Chain A
Amino acid sequence: MVNTLPYLNFIPAYVLIGISILIFFVGKAVPKISRLPVTVFFIFILCIAFMMEGAGSGSQVLFFNMIQIDSFSRLYNQLFFLVILSTVLMMSNSEEIDSDLRWENYGLLSTICLGMMFMVSSKHLLMTVVGIELVSLPSYLLVAMNKKNPASKEAALKYVLFGSFATGIMLYGMSFLFGLTGSLTFEGLWNGLSGYHILGSPIYFLAIFMTLGGIAFKISAVPFHFWTPDAYQAAPTPITAFLSCAPKVAGLALLMRFFAVLLPEQSEQMGVFISIVAMLTMTLGNFAALKQTDIKRLLAYSSISHAGFLLMGVAVMNDAGRQVVFFYIPIYLLMNLGAFMAIIYLSKGTNFQIDSYKGMIYKKPLLVVSLAVCMFSLAGIPPFAGFIGKLYLFKVVIEKEMFLLAIVAGINSVVSLYYYVYVLKVMIIDKDITPEIEFKGKPATIAFVASCAVPLVFFGIYWVPLLDWASKVVLFQ
């Protein structure tokens, strides 16, 4: 029997988040503790965890080949802490979330956080499953937390059914992978499969596809994207923003880990496969978004199409691609979080119809301008950071000579322009006919959105720091 307790020294942040889960779920029952300022406490924990990950170095394999700690996992974990931090800020500004349930909500969020950390550092199918489920289960519950919109229960039910079905498919696929290779680690898996791609036996594709299905569900890629619009529309807006960022990023990171140890022939095959998925995902997301009238649903489809764009970086299957994905992710987080935050502030109760935002520029000019920066950046218009991100994605794809993918992505960027600009048109050009409304949001919200917009402009002009950061993302180092 191997004593694994010393391993915990290498993963202090994981331990910290794990302890915080316990505290949040138990703490509410203890009368003295439950009166403490829990938000401050959570933010404090996240900051500590961020610093712990920042202090780490080196590459380590822990817990019987299950967890791989390297610069890849550390940098992604830091991103997760930042996203959760901003989600906490958004939650405390939102009216859709019951503030009596703060303890539970933060507990669920830290559970998701731990799950995502497992996902990015997983190198074993079991860890993959545990990570994905730790993210999924609390997500179902968080979607149902919207006290302003009864449809959130319906959305959560659909989400949980779809999710558990996807999990089932994934497990069934994994069982065949295990049967074919006798191994559960990623390396052993791909080595064991090395003969099959030539034979092209259907069971091989069936197993791989079913396994990838579970991950595709997390990043809402075609064909496991159907839950996205419903869940996003009815969930509390901070949760929507969170779901559209963090689990998706974790899923992508997991996918890159999964594909990191491919043999050359396999990587070509999987590259073609992922690029098909990427093309379908972005096309479907964009075209479906064209007809939306609800802004949250529109952003849901927009996030589907962005998953497609990010998959471009995965499809090239090399270090450059992985770094470009990491380069694009902070930009994506900034623009997505900024857009959702602005929407929370501008919304009138549960009404998220685009038409209800007419003439907002005259009421909240600074906020709408910041939102416009986020939207333009999402659409990939220079000089905003989204453009640079897309540029680099195109660069790696073209260097890999995947021209069809580049062309489809190009067409999609043009199409996406339409619906982003349409939203802005409604806000800026259309005249408002409704009477004055009271904005209940706090001024801090505007500061938050502006602080998302400013880096987008800055990185659009000067992106070297981001590039430096992304170049540190190397697997197994």
Chain B
Amino acid sequence: MILDGYLVASAALFTLGVVLFLSKKNAIAILMGVELILNASAINFVAFGKFTPSQGSPFDGQIFAIFIILLAAAEAVVALAIVLAAYKEYKHIMVDQYTKLRG
């Protein structure tokens, strides 16, 4: 019963993340959307790790969640670095105006 609650929460987080990703123009806000998506899956992993019987080690889900947090951090670093570089070139970070490459 309690599992459902986690799943609903994570689904809501995921949806919010997708919406944020698709609707914001600022690159930083879009990255925040990505973080939400990643966190949604982390919640899922932890919840499943607690409630479903694991075939492997009992902490599979939790370990995976830790990796996701690490991964989110690494991705943020790389993405923010690129955002900075792009800012130097364009003097703004409105992604929808970055349309040099198309076709």
Are any A and B Cβ atoms less than 8 Å apart in their complex? Answer: yes
Chain A residues with a Cβ under 8 A of chain B: 64-65, 125-126, 129-130, 133, 137, 140-141, 144, 150-151, 153-158, 160-161, 164-165, 167-169, 171-172, 174-176, 178-179, 181-185, 188, 192, 229-230, 233-234, 291-292, 294, 297
Q: A64 and B101 in contact (CB under 8 A), knowing A129-B71, A133-B71, A164-B34?
A: no
Interface residues of B (CB under 8 A from A): 10, 14, 17, 21, 27, 30-31, 34, 37-38, 40-42, 44-45, 47-49, 52-57, 60-61, 63-64, 67-68, 71, 74-75, 78-79, 81-83, 85-86, 88-90, 95, 98, 100-103
How many angstroms between the C-alpha atoms of A126 and B45 in the bound complex? 12
Pick the contact of A151 from B48, B64, B100 — CB < 8 Å? B100
Q: Closest residue of chain A to B47, judged by CB?
A: A179
**Contact across chains for A164 and B41 when beta carbons are under 8 A apart:** no
Chain A nearest CB from B43 CB (Å) reads 8
- Choose one: B21, B38, B85; the contact of A144 (CB below 8 Å): B85
Whether B75 pairs with A169 at a CB distance below 8 angstroms is no
A133 proximity list for chain B (CB < 8 A): 71, 74-75
B-side contacts of A176, CB under 8 Å = 44
Q: Closest 4 A-B residue pairs measured CB to CB?
A: A168-B37, A175-B44, A183-B55, A179-B48
CB–CB A175/B48 < 8 A: yes
Residue of A129, A154, A168 touching B17 (CB-CB under 8 A): A168
B67 → chain A closest CB, angstroms: 6
Q: Can you name the residue of chain A whose Cβ is closest to the Cβ of B61?
A: A178
Q: In the bound complex, do residue A292 and residue B83 qualify as a contact, i.e. CB atoms below 8 Å apart?
A: no
Roughly how many angstroms separate A176 CA and B3 CA in the complex, as a whole number? 12
Instruction: Please determine whether B31 and A164 come into contact, CB atoms closer than 8 angstroms.
Output: yes
| CB-CB under 8 A for A178 and B45, given A129-B67, A161-B34, A183-B55 | yes
Q: Which chain B residues border A192 with CB–CB below 8 Å?
A: 55
Bound Cα distance A174, B64 (Å)? 10
Interface pair B34/A156, CB less than 8 Å apart: no
Across-interface contacts of B42 in A (CB, < 8 A): 171
Of the candidates A155, A165, A172, A229, the one whose C-beta lies within 8 Å of that of B21 is A165
Bound-state Cα–Cα, A229 to B81, Å: 22
Q: Once the chains bind, are B34 and A168 in contact (CB under 8 Å)?
A: yes
Give the CA-CA distance A171 to B66 in the complex, in Å.
13
In the bound complex, residues from chain A placing their C-beta under 8 Å from that of B40 are 172
Q: Are A167 and B48 in contact (CB under 8 A)?
A: no
Decide if A168 touches B54 in the complex (CB within 8 Å). no
For this complex, 5 residue pairs linking A to B, each with C-beta atoms less than 8 Å apart, are A153-B88, A154-B90, A156-B82, A167-B75, A234-B101
B52 to A182, Cβ gap below 8 A? yes
Q: How far is the CB of B10 from chain A (nearest CB, A)?
A: 8
Are the CB atoms of B89 and A153 closer together than 8 Å?
yes
The closest CB in chain B to the CB of A158 belongs to: B98
Q: How far is the CA of A400 from the CA of B49 in the complex (A)?
A: 40
Contact partner of A156 among B52, B53, B86, CB < 8 A?
B86
**A202 CB, nearest partner CB in chain B, Å:** 14
Q: Given that A126-B63, A168-B37, A184-B60 are contacting pairs, would A175 and B45 also be in contact in the complex, using a CB cutoff of 8 Å? A: yes
